[in-house]
Amino acid sequence: MINSISITNFQSHKESFIEFCNGLNIITGSSDSGKSGILRSFRWVYENRPSGDSIRNWSCKKEDIVFVKIELSEGNVYKERINGKTKYFLESKGGSQEFEAFKSDVPQEIIDIFNLSEFNIQTQHEPYFLLNDSPGEVAKKLNSLVGLDIIDTIFKKS
C-alpha cells in the first residue's frame, strides 16, 4: 500500500507532502493546482516517465535536486535527478539499494516492491473502471485482480 508521497521541485510542486489513507484516494482541486503533477511524479518513479528536464519545477535552478519519495508498507522508494543524472533508491527490510536510471528502464526491484497493475491508478480522462466494459471484459479483469486468470491459462494450454 502507498502510505505517502513527498515531492520536491517537480513541475508545479516546490515542496509537497501527501498522506494517503487505506482504500480509495481521490485528489481534487481547481485547475492549475497541481493534481496532474502529483500523478506525473508518481509515474516518474514507477514508470520512469516523463523523462528529461520537463519534470523540473519552473522556478528552480538547473543544479537544484528534483526528488520524489514514495513511502510504501513494504519500504520506501526515492528517485532524484540532479545535474542531468537520475538515480533510484530503495529502502526495504532487505536493506538499502541504489540504482542508476538508464533510458526508460525501471529497476526490477522497484517494479517488484510497487506490485501494481494497470487497475491501480485511474486518471480523469480514462473511461470509468468496469462501467464501460462488456460483461466478458469485466469478468476477465476481476479474474485477473483476484488471480483466477490462471484457470484460463491452464485451459488454453490443454
Taking 60 as the threshold, does the pLDDT of residue 119 lie above it? no
Give the model confidence (pLDDT) of 7-27 as tens digits. 999 999 999 999 999 988 888
Give me the percent of the chain exceeding a pLDDT of 70.
92
- Does the pTM surpass 0.75? The reply is no
DSSP 42-102: HHHHHT--S-GGGGB-TTS-TTSPEEEEEEETTEEEEEEEETTEEEEEEEETTEEEEEE--
